[in-house]
Structure 1
Amino acid sequence: MKTTFIAAAAASFLVSGFGAAVSAQEADEPWAESPFKCEPGETYVMNVMVSGVEYWFPVYEMFKQAAHQFGCEADYTGTPEYDVNKQIASFQQALAKQPAGVLLHPMNPDPFIGPINQAIEQGTAVVTFAADSPNSNRTSYITSDNFREGAEAARQIAEAMGGKGQYAVLENPGQDNHDRRVAAFIEEMEENHPDMELVGRASTGQDPNKAYQATMSLAQANPELGAIFMPEASSAMGAAQAAKEVGTDIKVMSVDVNASVLDMIQAGEMFGAINPNQGAQGYYGFLMLWLAAHPELIDPMNDYESAGFNPMSIPMLDNGFSVVTQDNAKNFYWDKYLKKRGTRGIEG
């Protein structure tokens, strides 16, 4: 929590510093002219897997806004497939253009260790978001707290079911943020809601069709199934459709939302969702990435020069999350957000 506070305060200073007045003495100092601006052509990239997933769009929207406020160029890259090798290839294609930094969502932690370290060796800063590669040399990591997300989802479901009943989970083993959410969900149930019984787990690979089939199978095998949780939105669409066809009151809850999920929540076909504050994730993600690319601005009282490490380091910044219900789901639609802002999203 202390790290989060310090990071947020630093980000606030960066933004407010643009218009800050300086004294006559400060005006003579070498840093009096604001250094928080890019050189012509200085480019920052966001890289993801399953690039058509709506979750990324508000993240990039605010990443792009922060970049433009600094006078930088921004680019959205990735691969449409749920395939770590293809994402690594798209990451390396981005590196070939020598960007100043990459805000990266690594599909799996360990396969990205080498590519991230390669990027840093060539002088491209790397900050991870939403999912991490903790054993790499990435400078910082921004995310909503996946453990708190999973635990909160469990509390919401357990409370709605009166603390007693059967539940199941859909998952994507190997993607670390999803693994954390599922682990925290189950741990919260086991430790604080002992009358909630886990009756099944199924891997879906973020495929709505697999989620539909898995939910059908789980419901048929467990007629008393009362809830099903998944750590992302794509599987929620298939699970909610299956729950609707089964005709029982299975409470479907996801992390992340898209327009279809929001429609189902408003229609009462899904119980709810946990949604990270995506815009904050993109905006603060850019600020951390920009500082990682400009370590000369940071002079801590430590041995960074002789030890040879980047003095910019925020191990984890929590961008927070919201609980989406039938009452507030109208506030989370991407198209309405884009219309309000008057921008073109990932297209411009």
Structure 2
Amino acid sequence: MRTFFSTTAMAVLASTLFAGSTAAETENPFRCKPGEKYVMNVMVSGVEYWFPVYEMFKQAGQQLGCETEYTGTPEYDVNKQIATFDQALAQNPAGILVHPMNSDPFIEPINRAVDRGTAVVTFAADSPLSKRVSFITSGHPPGGTYAAHTTAGEMGGQGGYAGLENPGQGKHETRSRAHHTRSEEKWPDMKLVGRAASNQDPTKAYQGLSSLIQANPNLGAVFMPEANSAIGAAQANKESGGKVLVMCADVNANILDMIKAGEVFGSINPNQGMQGYMGFMLLWFAEHPELIDPMNDAKRSGFNPMSIPVVDNGLSIVTAKNADDFYWDKYLKRRGTKGIEE
């Protein structure tokens, strides 16, 4: 049976443990040893989505006196990401929070890390057959489902919609499938009239949506499971009269500007800060299982008592009404930090 814990429950657990560790006669167990380090590893490291995740990953580390590092590859290549994962592992970190580009290729690297004593937690994308101890996400099916509700509500549950997709990228395929399935089940008067592969490339998205609009002049909406494709899609929509609701997932400054300008209708955005903060805390507990003595068979079976299969970090629907709350530069200014540079 899979057990799901909300971020609220995890926060209460953490605060309770912190409170219980402050007795004067007891050494605080919630402090890192000198040199204890935790690493975050991602694909396409320059994508702005990761920055708020690492910001809160870093803050959690600072609160416990730990070292943290941001790593990844600038290229869309699973083998190159695995190489950066192995480079991080060579530093013998206490834990690695990883977003695996694809699940199966990461099974062996994650298992090797765990066997060497490095805790591994996945976030935003999973490798469920590996030995990772936890997975934190907003849930990709819910992301696609909420996107379907948002556009269908605007369209009155009627009309044609299309999809720009990224074949081979697990989480994107899941989001797109959930969007299309929900639309088909909930709104029988809405039809999926076409799909095109954009592969996170604005130029391919522009070409794909232009062709879809030409073939379906009354197209009402298009969904894509990430942000980069929305740049090209918005341009194609603008040149075709601007009648298509462009709905994506994730945000960055360009997408937020386009949402405020009405060029992109909206975006589904996971709660990035909670991904990073709770991701770090899950790693911490996984690395320090002696702090946990659950009433189960952990000692008999030898598995890590911190094993929590899934933590839901929540998500937001970003529209013109709330877009100002999601700018990275405004967030850093509010926090008084320099982001991943620190």
The normalised TM-score by structure 2 is 0.96
The reply to whether residue 290 of structure 1 matches residue 284 of structure 2 is yes
- Is the deviation greater in 239-248 or in 304-313? 304-313
**Partner of 1:120 in structure 2?**
114
Extract unaligned runs of 5+ from structure 1: none
- The CA deviation at 1:15 is 3.5
Match of 2:145 among 138, 141, 151: 151
Match of 2:301 among 286, 307, 328: 307
1:36/1:271 CA distance change after superposition, 3 Å: same
- The whole-number CA distance in structure 2 between the counterparts of 1:67 and 1:336 is 22
**Partner of 1:75 in structure 2?**
69
The reply to whether residue 253 of structure 1 matches residue 254 of structure 2 is no
The reply to whether residue 41 of structure 1 matches residue 35 of structure 2 is yes
- The whole-number CA distance in structure 1 between the counterparts of 2:3 and 2:71 is 33
Q: Secondary structure at the match of 2:199?
A: coil
The reply to whether residue 196 of structure 1 matches residue 197 of structure 2 is no
Q: Secondary structure at the match of 2:13?
A: helix
Q: Secondary structure at the match of 2:308?
A: coil
- The whole-number CA distance in structure 2 between the counterparts of 1:298 and 1:207 is 46
- The CA deviation at 1:21 is 7.6
Contact 1:139 1:292 in 2 (8 A): yes
| Number of aligned positions between the proteins | 341
Percentage of pairs with the same residue: 65
**1:181-220 correspondence to structure 2 within 5 Å:** 181-220=175-214
- The CA deviation at 1:232 is 0.7
- The whole-number CA distance in structure 2 between the counterparts of 1:271 and 1:22 is 49
Q: Secondary structure at the match of 1:142?
A: strand
- The whole-number CA distance in structure 2 between the counterparts of 1:208 and 1:313 is 39
- 2:91 corresponds to which letter in structure 1? K
**Partner of 2:12 in structure 1?**
12
Segments of 4+ moved more than 4 angstroms: 19-23
Q: Secondary structure at the match of 2:267?
A: strand
Contact 2:40 2:69 in 1 (8 A): yes
- The whole-number CA distance in structure 1 between the counterparts of 2:17 and 2:306 is 18
**Partner of 2:166 in structure 1?**
172
- The CA deviation at 1:306 is 3.6
- The CA deviation at 1:215 is 1.1
Superposed CA RMSD in Å reads 1.7
- 1:11 corresponds to which letter in structure 2? A
- 1:3 corresponds to which letter in structure 2? F
- The whole-number CA distance in structure 1 between the counterparts of 2:168 and 2:298 is 33
The normalised TM-score by structure 1 is 0.94
- The whole-number CA distance in structure 1 between the counterparts of 2:317 and 2:147 is 8
Extract unaligned runs of 5+ from structure 2: none
- The whole-number CA distance in structure 1 between the counterparts of 2:332 and 2:16 is 25
- The whole-number CA distance in structure 2 between the counterparts of 1:260 and 1:312 is 39
